[in-house]
Amino acid sequence: MYTSNDNVDWVLIEQNEKCGGLASTVTDEQGFLWDMGGHVIFSHYAYFTRLLDYLLPPEEWNLKIREAWVWMRQTFIPYPLQQNLHRLPKTDIIQSIDGLIDNEKKRSLFTKPKTFKDWLIQSFGSGLCEVFMYPYNFKVWAYTSDKMNIEWMGERVATVDLSKVIKNVINQQDELGWGPNNTFRFPLHGGTGAIWKSLYEFLKPTNKFKLSTKVIAIDVKQKLITYSDKTTESYDSIISTMPLDCLCKIIDGTSIPRETLNENAKQFRYSSSHIIGFGIAGQPPTNLQSKCWLYFPEDDCPFYRATVFSNYSPFHVPKPGQQWSLMCEVAESADKPVDKDKIIQIAEQGLINTKLINDTHEIISRYHIRLEYGYPTPFYGRDALCEPLFNEFESHDIYSRGRFGCWKYEVSNQDHSLMLGVEAVDKIVFGTEEMTFKYPGIVNANKDSVGRVPCFPDKK
């Protein structure tokens, strides 16, 4: 970013050929649309909400009621599982409730949890952890819960009301709709990527974008950026959204020795994501026609989540009304390897095992992409590693922000990621506080109310 007098000049560098990153959408060879994961749009900010209203007109939004389910023990169970235990076999119900009751007896002896595993045990008891929490969280994070911190929690995991749990079991009663995103809106055309494509089209006439351009070195003493084509450019301030471990590898001239930065980079933990899409002829089975996504804790399938993507919009398939689609997500890490050459076949068999499809369904499209950086793992010791890096880089006017830039899963949704950038710009230009980066808990306690309300210009 460059400044001249009272005017602010800027340039955006993107190593991919298009903008959007993990929030982009692709169209496969058969014409099916696929997001880079199961995205659900939810806003903690008036700014973000107004921006969405500005980027896409009302008729381009599809309002959806969240319907999330768990598939286990050969049956569908409404999410959250802990509120709907009556659908489990009796042995699982007894094991889960015994653990919850035992927790109540010991609660006065609990100390502050240090790891995510500690938090799970104190929140759900050993029974429910063994039945669901441990296997599911390993599938989604690709790391065991004892290697993760608790700072990311907030609203992300539904806790337990023991009285309600027992009443629901006795009354054989379902409880639906938990969560900050129990209703959500989704673009009618173009998938999630339509939002950011619209923003790009609005900004593009400024000619400030350098696509297919990779930053390979940053010299903080000379304030110089080097690109992959060996050209260089000076800067006043940088907002970096590259993964923080990658930034550590290319930045030079800080007070942190090169050897230390290299060692720091090795300590970051993340999972890669495999997105596997299946375009299918006909219409979805009756029991899937209203469902949004499903969770899978068991080992009869490789994916931890499957989204009935055609339910988000009929235009996610090339022939609306005649086709439907399922999008599966598989996590990979050093602790949880994935056979990428066979993952499509393994996932397809998983769909059969979990009864999402059967031998009568005609699959007409199979799509697969591996995303190296999928989830920034909130690993134990994360904040102690990151804080000195943030402080040092910011002393050289480099602000590492975004989903992987600040490595804070608790503020890594689309609304958070956008506002991390907005607030970083405001910090550089006006010296204002960055609420999302510094106070995730405060931000996540609000819905659609944080930050200034923008007045966007009329579209031309």
pLDDT exceeds cutoff 60 at 4? no
**Structure confidence at residue 41 as a pLDDT band (50, 70, 90):** confident
Q: Which pLDDT score is estimated for 25?
A: 98
Tell me: do 263 and 401 sit in the same domain.
yes
pLDDT exceeds cutoff 90 at 118? yes
Tell me: do 158 and 93 sit in the same domain.
yes
H or E stretch covering 229: none
Tell me: do 166 and 193 sit in the same domain.
no
Residue 277 one-letter amino acid: G
The packing angle between helices 46-55 and 414-430, to 10°, is: 110
Q: Which pLDDT score is estimated for 72?
A: 97
Q: Does residue 359 form part of some domain?
A: no
Q: Which pLDDT score is estimated for 460?
A: 44
Tell me: do 122 and 258 sit in the same domain.
no
Tell me: do 163 and 193 sit in the same domain.
no
Tell me: do 388 and 263 sit in the same domain.
yes
Q: Does residue 109 form part of some domain?
A: yes
Helices and strands (H, E) in the chain, number of each type: 13, 21
In this structure, what token pair is assigned to residue 272?
């890669």
Tell me: do 387 and 254 sit in the same domain.
yes
Mean residue pLDDT of the chain comes to: 93
Average the pLDDT over 161-178 and give the result. Answer: 86
CA distances from 21 to 17, 196, 285, 373 (A): 10, 9, 32, 10
Average the pLDDT over 333-362 and give the result. Answer: 97
Report the number of distinct structural domains present in the chain.
2
Average the pLDDT over 351-366 and give the result. Answer: 97
DSSP, collapsed to helix, strand or coil, labels residue 99 as: helix
Tell me: do 96 and 164 sit in the same domain.
yes
Q: What is the CATH number of the domain that holds 217?
A: 3.50.50.60
pLDDT exceeds cutoff 90 at 385? yes
**More confident of the two residues 69 and 6:** 69
Contact 371, 332 (CB under 8 A): no
pLDDT exceeds cutoff 90 at 57? yes
Tell me: do 253 and 383 sit in the same domain.
yes
Percent of the chain with pLDDT over 70: 93
Tell me: do 261 and 124 sit in the same domain.
no
pTM for the model stands at 0.93
Q: Does residue 363 form part of some domain?
A: no
**More confident of the two residues 91 and 162:** 91
**Structure confidence at residue 435 as a pLDDT band (50, 70, 90):** very high
Parent domain of 8: 2-25+188-268+379-444
Q: Does residue 225 form part of some domain?
A: yes
Q: Does residue 259 form part of some domain?
A: yes
Q: Does residue 203 form part of some domain?
A: yes
Phi, psi torsion values for 223, nearest 5 degrees: 50, 60
Tell me: do 384 and 440 sit in the same domain.
yes
pLDDT tens, residue by residue, 221-260: 999 999 999 999 999 999 999 999 999 999 999 999 999 9
Sequence-ordered list of residues with C-beta below 8 angstroms from that of 360, at least 6 positions apart, any chain: none
Tell me: do 136 and 193 sit in the same domain.
no
pLDDT exceeds cutoff 50 at 356? yes
Q: Does residue 328 form part of some domain?
A: no
